[in-house]
Amino acid sequence: MWTRDKDGEHMEDRHTDQPGIGYSPEVRDALAHGAPVVALESTIISHGLPRSINLDVARELEAIVRDGGACPATIAVLDGVVHVGLADHELERVASGQGIRKLGARDLVLAMATGESGATTVSAVCMVAARAKIRVFVTGGLGGVHRGWQESLDESADLVMLSRTRLTVVAAGVKSILDVPATLQRLETLNVSVIGYRTGRFPGFYLADSGLPVEWSLDSVAQIAAVMRSQDALGAQGQALLVANPVPVERQLDPALHDQVLREALSAAADRQIGGQALTPFLLDFIARGTGGASVDANLAAVRGNAALGAAVAVAYAGDAA
Ligand code: PSU
Ligand code: MN
């Protein structure tokens, strides 16, 4: 649909005529004006955090993005409609978990066609953000290659979607429940650019340092925005830029406790033969209980920092474009 703006210039409103996709008024307005927008996933809310705090966290993450000068766009599917930006009662519905499935990229069309509801993983957000033309995305920790992949072939769909989506993803590395070296190797094979933000170490989600290095480190949001401009200049295929932003060391989980509880979690998952989509939520929940909630505190510290950095990146990138 084409409309005329005040000055009589033709302006394309790309966000009014996409069947199956609904934009919140705030997000629609921000996108139409080229204002900074930050996508937020919703699986962390519905399946990644305890029910007692998840709604507050969802609201808080949006508030952090707003305080940073960007418009938050939490993404979920409700009754078959892909929502880009949620009203508060919709956020409540996602946080309640009632009838909320976990949707990867491949599940989006199924939920749309059948009228189901679900929260979006990183892979699903990649698909929606590309359609909505949102460039910056905040999550906690990415999915990746699971330990024991030699047997299970379990690799998160997050990785392959990041190889084909031009999106800047701010995350505290990949979840430490994964095979981190194998995940870094896959990110290399898939041509996903990875930078450590103010660190030369790849973060370990609950931990500031996964034990592995990153080859590129940047110290400012202006530099990150410059990388995004370089992606635009080079054109070519869309690949993501992973901005690996560590949890502050003073907020990380105690590494000894982390290693101990993670071992127990992995063996419990193996004993109970938990796999597929259920594995990540099971491990996160087991670790939360096993650490008396300390892992949740570290997860929250990481995702809050990511929301603040994501907003700053979106603002810097939008400023470059202006
Ligand atoms: N970050 C968090 N908590 C989470 C997730 C990310 O702090 O629960 C979710 C994301 O939605 C990610 C998903 O895409 O976990 C990975 O699940 P799987 O391994 O099944 O692809
Ligand atoms: Mn998986």
> How would DSSP label each residue in 101-169?
EEE-HHHHHHHHHHT-EEEE-HHHHHHHHHHHT--EEE-SSB--BBTTHHHH--B-HHHHHHTS---EE
Query: Atom 2 of ligand 1 has which residue's CA nearest to it?
Result: 140
Identify whether the C-beta of residue 160 lies closer than 8 Å to the C-beta of residue 303: no
Confidence at residue 15, expressed as pLDDT on a 0 to 100 scale: 56
Q: What residues form DSSP beta bridges with 71?
A: 37
Identify whether the C-beta of residue 202 lies closer than 8 Å to the C-beta of residue 161: no
Query: Atom 4 of ligand 1 has which residue's CA nearest to it?
Result: 44
Token pair, residue 59, equals 């609201």
Judged against a pLDDT cut of 90, whether residue 25 lies above it is answered with yes
pLDDT tens-digit profile of 47-60?
A: 999 999 999 999 99
Closest by Cα among 258, 318, 267 to 288: 258
Judged against a pLDDT cut of 60, whether residue 13 lies above it is answered with no
For domain 149-322, give the CATH superfamily.
Answer: Indigoidine synthase domain (3.40.1790.10)
Location of structure tokens 């995004």: 228
User: Considering every ligand atom, which ligand is closest to the CA of 120?
Assistant: 1
**DSSP 3-state of 254:** coil
Judged against a pLDDT cut of 50, whether residue 10 lies above it is answered with no
Confidence at residue 322, expressed as pLDDT on a 0 to 100 scale: 65
How many residues make up the chain in this entry? 322
Judged against a pLDDT cut of 80, whether residue 156 lies above it is answered with yes
Identify whether the C-beta of residue 176 lies closer than 8 Å to the C-beta of residue 206: yes
Phi, psi of 202 (to 5 degrees): -75, 125
Among 106-110, 189-193, 277-281, 311-315, which stretch is predicted with the lowest mean pLDDT? 277-281
For domain 1-134, give the CATH superfamily.
Answer: Indigoidine synthase domain (3.40.1790.10)
Query: Atom 21 of ligand 1 has which residue's CA nearest to it?
Result: 156
Confidence at residue 19, expressed as pLDDT on a 0 to 100 scale: 83
Instruction: Report the pLDDT averaged over residues 32-59.
Output: 96
**Fold identical between 1-134 and 149-322?**
yes
Identify whether the C-beta of residue 117 lies closer than 8 Å to the C-beta of residue 100: yes
Confidence at residue 321, expressed as pLDDT on a 0 to 100 scale: 72
pLDDT tens-digit profile of 222-265?
A: 999 999 999 999 986 789 999 999 999 999 999 999 999 999 99
Judged against a pLDDT cut of 50, whether residue 170 lies above it is answered with yes
Judged against a pLDDT cut of 90, whether residue 111 lies above it is answered with yes
Instruction: Report the pLDDT averaged over residues 285-289.
Output: 96
Parse the chain into domains and list their residue ranges: 1-134, 149-322
pLDDT tens-digit profile of 64-107?
A: 999 999 999 999 999 999 999 999 999 999 999 999 999 999 99
DSSP 8-state symbol, 250:
G
* Sign of the Cα pseudo-torsion (198, 202, 204, 208, in order): negative
Instruction: Examine the residue annotation and report whether 102 is marked as an active-site residue of this protein.
Output: no
Instruction: Examine the residue annotation and report whether 41 is marked as an active-site residue of this protein.
Output: yes
Q: Tell me what the pLDDT averaged over the chain comes to.
A: 93
Identify whether the C-beta of residue 112 lies closer than 8 Å to the C-beta of residue 14: no
Exposed/middle/buried for residue 297 (C-beta within 10 Å: 0-12, 13-18, 19+): middle
Judged against a pLDDT cut of 80, whether residue 157 lies above it is answered with yes
Please calculate the CA angle 282-214-225 and round it to the nearest 5 degrees. 95
Please calculate the CA angle 183-188-189 and round it to the nearest 5 degrees. 95
Q: Which residue among 62, 90, 155, 175 is the active-site one?
A: 175
Distance of CA 248 to the CA centre of its chain: 19
Please calculate the CA angle 251-280-212 and round it to the nearest 5 degrees. 55
Confidence at residue 139, expressed as pLDDT on a 0 to 100 scale: 97
Site to probe by mutation for ligand 1, drawn from 42, 43, 101, 108 as the one with most ligand atoms within 8 Å of Cβ, is: 43
CB-based pocket (< 6 A), ligand 1: 41, 43-44, 47-48, 121-122, 139-141, 143, 156-158, 277, 280, 284, 299, 303
Q: Which residue among 26, 41, 90, 215 is the active-site one?
A: 41
**DSSP 3-state of 314:** helix
Confidence at residue 12, expressed as pLDDT on a 0 to 100 scale: 45
Amino acid at 128: V
What element of type H or E holds 38? strand 37-40
Please calculate the CA angle 140-130-188 and round it to the nearest 5 degrees. 60
Judged against a pLDDT cut of 80, whether residue 9 lies above it is answered with no
Among 164-178, 229-243, 293-307, which stretch is predicted with the lowest mean pLDDT? 229-243
Give, in order, the Cα–Cα distances in Å from 79 to each of 44, 76, 100, 108: 20, 10, 10, 12
Query: How far, in Å, CA of 186 to CA of 189, rounded?
Result: 5
Confidence at residue 16, expressed as pLDDT on a 0 to 100 scale: 56
